[in-house]
Amino acid sequence: MRVDSHIHFWRFDPREYPWMSADMQALKRDRLPEDVRPLLDQARIDSCIAVQARMSEPETDFLLDLAIRYPWIAGVIGWVDLCDERLARRLERWASQKKLIGFRHVLQGDPNAGALVSSAAFERGVALIQSRKMIYELLVSADQFPAITPFSRKSDQHWLVLDHLGKPDVRHRQIDSWRRDLAAIAALPHVVCKLSGLVTEANDAAGKFDADHLRDYLDVALEMFGPRRLMFGSDWPVCLLVSEYAEVADIIERWSSRLSAADREWIWGKTAAQVYGLAARGNHG
């Protein structure tokens, strides 16, 4: 089974997606399952994980509705207010939704992220979803690692998933500081890492990126996490700001070609199947 662990879907409304800036015109249209399925087929991807792009409960409902209609959407990472003292009650309305496998809160760009994740309310919320064997996904930038690492160390009752390798500053080639700070999170055995989002961190003013330099970051991730804690993610359609889906997949395909068949299987699907509790089925190995 081959899995894309990071895809977004939306019906575009500028009021709902204020994070889409003026230079993100490529994103400002509906992006739905029928748009990406041919791309998944070309890359021999069997299934995907749909990840929230709005911080609202209707976003969770929207993605779950898509997952019901399209069986190859194997799981949903939604949003809920993890600090809500009524969180347990709020989760009950999704109790029958087996494809709801976790939640994410956008910490990237939030100057108060450190205070939030260290708050008793947030820690209680994450502890509650972990007690129900649900995932919490970390969307942070590399400069937030010092604040996020203590939280990650405490939240060890289930998997944590680090999105986009922690968003290193590839554009300015800040690999040494990222590697230093990543090491503390990578040392935690319950943290897994998505090989996703690198192209949009690497593009220069002309919208270009150095694929050879990207491989340096992938090498560090492999060294620190090992193949059993890495998984492919395209970050479609955000990747379209810089690159087509096929090119994003090809970067990981070429980079991983030097690994053993067993290690490639983990990166391309087995890690996602283990972490997200997916059935081990598919047509593409």
CATH number of the domain that residue 142 is part of: 3.20.20.140
Q: State the average pLDDT over residues 193-202.
A: 94
Tens digits of residue pLDDT in 219-239: 999 999 999 999 999 999 999
Cβ–Cβ under 8 Å, residues 9 and 32? yes
* Helix, strand, coil % in the chain, rounded to nearest 5: 45, 15, 40
Confirm whether 271 is domain-assigned. yes
Work out the pLDDT band at 207, boundaries 50, 70, 90.
low
Give a yes or no: residue 139 inside a domain: yes
Residue 285, pLDDT > 70, answer no
98 CB-near residues (< 8 Å, 6+ apart)? none
Q: d(Cα 172, Cα 37) in Å, to the nearest integer? A: 34
With a pLDDT cut of 70, the percent of the chain lying above it is 96
For the segment 7-55, what is each residue's pLDDT rounded down to a tens digit? 999 999 999 999 999 989 999 999 999 999 999 999 999 999 999 999 9
Residue 282 lies in a domain: no
- pLDDT tens for residues 130-184? 999 999 999 999 999 999 999 999 999 999 999 999 999 998 888 999 999 999 9
| Geometric angle at alpha carbon 236, from 111 and 133, rounded to 5° | 65
Bridge pairing between strands 73-78 and 47-51: parallel
Range of the domain at 170: 3-276
Three-state DSSP class for residue 95? coil
Confidence of residue 282 (pLDDT cuts 50, 70, 90): very low
pLDDT tens digits, residue range 260-279? 999 999 999 999 999 999 97
- 283 in any annotated domain: no
pLDDT tens, 78-136? 999 999 999 999 999 999 999 999 999 999 999 999 999 999 999 999 999 999 999 99
Of residues 110 and 212, more confidence is placed in: 110
Is residue 285 in a domain?
no
pLDDT at 284 over 70: no
Q: What is the distance of C-alpha 211 from the center of its chain?
A: 20
Number of structural domains found in the chain: 1
Residue 205 has pLDDT above 80, yes or no: no
| 284 domain residue, yes or no | no
Beta-bridge mates of residue 105: 138
- Decide if 281 is inside a domain: no
Residue 281 is predicted with a pLDDT of: 47
- What pLDDT shows up at residue 170? 92
Query: pLDDT higher for 284 or 177?
Result: 177
Please name the residues in contact with 280: beta carbons below 8 A apart, sequence gap of 6 or more: 1, 270, 273
The pLDDT of residue 248: 96
In a domain, 95, yes or no: yes
Q: What is the pLDDT of residue 199?
A: 92
Supply the pLDDT for residue 191.
98
- Percentage of residues in the chain having pLDDT higher than 90: 91
Band of the pLDDT at 209, cuts 50, 70, 90? Answer: confident
Strands (E), 114-221: 135-139, 160-162, 191-195
CB contact at 8 A, 113 and 147: yes
Structure confidence at residue 169 (pLDDT) = 92
